[in-house]
Structure 1
Amino acid sequence: MNKYTEYILEQAENLLAIDSPSGFTQAVTDYLMKEYKDLGYSPAKTTKGGVLVDLGGKRNGLLLTAHVDTLGGMTAQIKQNGRLRMTPVGGMNPNNAETENCRIYTFDGREYTGTLQLQNASIHVNKDFNDKSRSFDEMEILIDEPVSSKEDVEALGIMTGNYICFDPRTTITPSGYIKSRFLDDKLSTAILLGYAKYLKDENVSLTRRVYQHITVFEEVGHGGSASTPDDVTEILSVDMGCVGDGLECTEHQVSICVKDSNGPYNYDIVKGLIKAAKDNNIDFAADVYPHYGSDAGAALQAGYDLRHGLIGPGVYASHGYERSHTDGVENTLLLLKAYI
């Protein structure tokens, strides 16, 4: 691994360790502000809470976006038995969240741990365990405190609207696989930090104006819908590349999305990305994502007149316990360098 890959992996682990479901992102954006300043940039917080930074260059602005908000949950009800009914934030799927450990954050700054379980989760007691639907109406958060009533829970300061954040379980294997919840999109956020570090370390003179916008509401659909600088003509979302049946991409490649659920990406941008990859012997795949939306799409839906594209390292098991590889990270960084 080169030094930039090592830096990206370190940043990814640091970002993944900070709980940040959509709407609960101040701690992680404060971290990003410090990291960009340490690299020698002058980042700014947007009104919505994202981080916007000018990397330099002149004219023909390019906005690189990634998002640091993740899936998660929120307390929807304190039940009479002292357990919590959870409502998902973003596309958190109950089928792959069952038995996950979590943290509950109260409005007054207290933090408690818990676990998402099926109601009546003991197999030796529940004869219908296998037949029960895994839905958030059939599941509940068990708080790791001696509570057995709604009043017990309220005495802890827990109430409706408190965020529930799930353990990412991050690990990087000796063979280079990166396994964690929320690689979407903290892995690509780390890649953008790596690109920003590369520009400073190598004293690269950009031939066009380049910005980075780390958004905080992508998982609920409106992360990239604001704060695009006036001189930007092109937006490139750096998010996760899909890996699954019917797609070409693997975890070792950078994915170039040609179309997602909102429609095709800009044809000239797609051609330019593919040409940059081929000309520089970068391992890539071009794919259609059937159930996907990006910050680039959100910007166009908000009315911005931009050309748009989408790339990212291949990630398997999206919105679950995800897996990528250092090869995919390196190929994504190489494509950014080659294309820009």
Structure 2
Amino acid sequence: MSRLKINVDYLLGQLKALLSIDSPTGYTDTIVRYVTEELEKLGLEPELTRRGAIRTVVRGGRRLGARAIITHLDTLGAQVKFVQENGRLELVPIGNWSARFAEGARVTLYSEKGSYRGTILPLKSSGHTFNDEVDTAPVGWKHIELRIDAMTWSRADTLSLGIDVGDFVAIDPQPEFMDNGFISSRHLDDKAGVAIALASLEALMRGDAIVPVDTHWLFTIAEEVGVGAASIVTPEIASMVTIDNGTTAPGQNSSEFGVTIAMADQAGPFDYHLTKKLVDLCREEDIRYQKDIFRYYRSDSASAIEAGHDVRTALIAFGVDSSHGYERIHVHALRSVAELTTAYVVSPMEIERDVEEVSDLEGFTEQPTDPADQPRKKRKLPEPLSAPQD
């Protein structure tokens, strides 16, 4: 067995800690500091980009042809669009999520002069005032507002508090960890993925695991706005596996149990050979899995490819019900993804040609063109059509 034993208590402890740190895209310094310090506790030497993406390397038998495991620290959120005459705030979303899930959320607003608590409300929120209009009001970011819990009833009052356009709004996660293994919270995308990565690293370091090639562990800070891995992938990386959420919903094959291996997302198919390797590892290591395709979904892998990085990409997911809403996962999936992650990073490197960025046809991969394990057969050609008779 190649997979390592995952410390589930450590994984869940990290998830709780990560969820307690606000990190909407653009306001991620605190969580970057936390994860960097945690990596150092594990005996690693992380390095940060200018804006705060994190890279740490577990050294293996060779440097070139390296592997990468990537997750993202940023979450959905909002920003102040306008200070209204009644002192309340118009918002725009950070990331792609529905105002339907913003309604009723408790939040923290971060201004230059400090933070404030508040609630996102529909413009017509009181049934005692608007009667049935509260049920017929349209859904959308133009139809909600942020009420700050402070002495403010006018635009001037709010501005005097130091609150202004562009201030960041972090949405409370409201996590619940249940005895039956279910976890409900906002921002499980992708803080559960970060917890999986940390638990996988903890297992590798605890077990003094030997990896055949350098493994880069990457933590990005702008995935929710499409930037993600655009600038953190280095030339020696040949293959990159993203850990993120898989959507469990009607018409999808994802599950809240086991590993969901994505075959494609809206950016196109994932790498055939890397994906097949992950599927084979699940079979060999008896890790429950299922495959899925996501039509309205992209991840760090897409941003890396679009930025021009010539890397093989794959996506392994923990199934999430109500993604980008009030999300739910199960600890079985978290453990399963961590098991597959460790099995992958200790597995042999099979495509030797990947150590070179460019080479000739020697050793190039080959995809099957005939049915599996069937010998090539000489096909019988159809009889030529007879010439028409008069």
TM-score, reference length from structure 1: 0.97
Q: In the TM superposition, what is the alpha-carbon distance from 1:3 to its structure 2 partner?
A: 5.9
Partner of 2:254: 249
1:186-335 equivalence runs, <5 A: 186-335=191-340
Q: In the TM superposition, what is the alpha-carbon distance from 1:49 to its structure 2 partner?
A: 1.4
Aligned-partner residue type, residue 227 of structure 2 = H
Q: Distance in 2 between matches of 1:134 and 1:24?
A: 26
1:4-153 equivalence runs, <5 A: 4-57=7-60, 58-59=62-63, 60-108=65-113, 110-127=114-131, 128-153=133-158
TM-score, reference length from structure 2: 0.85
Larger radius of gyration: 2
The superposition leaves residues 110-141 of structure 1 with CA deviations (integer Å, 9 ceiling, x where unpaired) of: 01000000013101211311111121111100
How many residues align structurally? 338
* Alignment counterpart, residue 169 of structure 1, candidates 162, 166, 174: 174
State the identity %: 31
Q: Distance in 2 between matches of 1:148 and 1:77?
A: 15
Aligned-partner residue type, residue 56 of structure 1 = R
Instruction: Check conservation: 2:200, 2:339, Cα contact below 8 A.
Output: no
The superposition leaves residues 201-250 of structure 1 with CA deviations (integer Å, 9 ceiling, x where unpaired) of: 00001111101110000000011101212210011111112211112221
The superposition leaves residues 317-340 of structure 1 with CA deviations (integer Å, 9 ceiling, x where unpaired) of: 100010001100111011112222
Q: Which runs of 4+ in 1 moved over 2 A?
A: none
5+ long unaligned stretches in structure 1: none
Partner of 2:375: none
Q: In the TM superposition, what is the alpha-carbon distance from 1:28 to its structure 2 partner?
A: 0.3
Instruction: Check conservation: 1:112, 1:144, Cα contact below 8 A.
Output: yes
Q: Distance in 2 between matches of 1:284 and 1:47?
A: 37
Q: Distance in 2 between matches of 1:314 and 1:120?
A: 35
Q: Secondary structure of 1:308's partner? A: strand
Instruction: Check conservation: 2:79, 2:167, Cα contact below 8 A.
Output: yes
Task: Report the aligned-residue RMSD.
Answer: 1.0
Instruction: Check conservation: 1:104, 1:165, Cα contact below 8 A.
Output: yes
Instruction: Check conservation: 1:242, 1:255, Cα contact below 8 A.
Output: no
Q: Distance in 2 between matches of 1:73 and 1:249?
A: 28
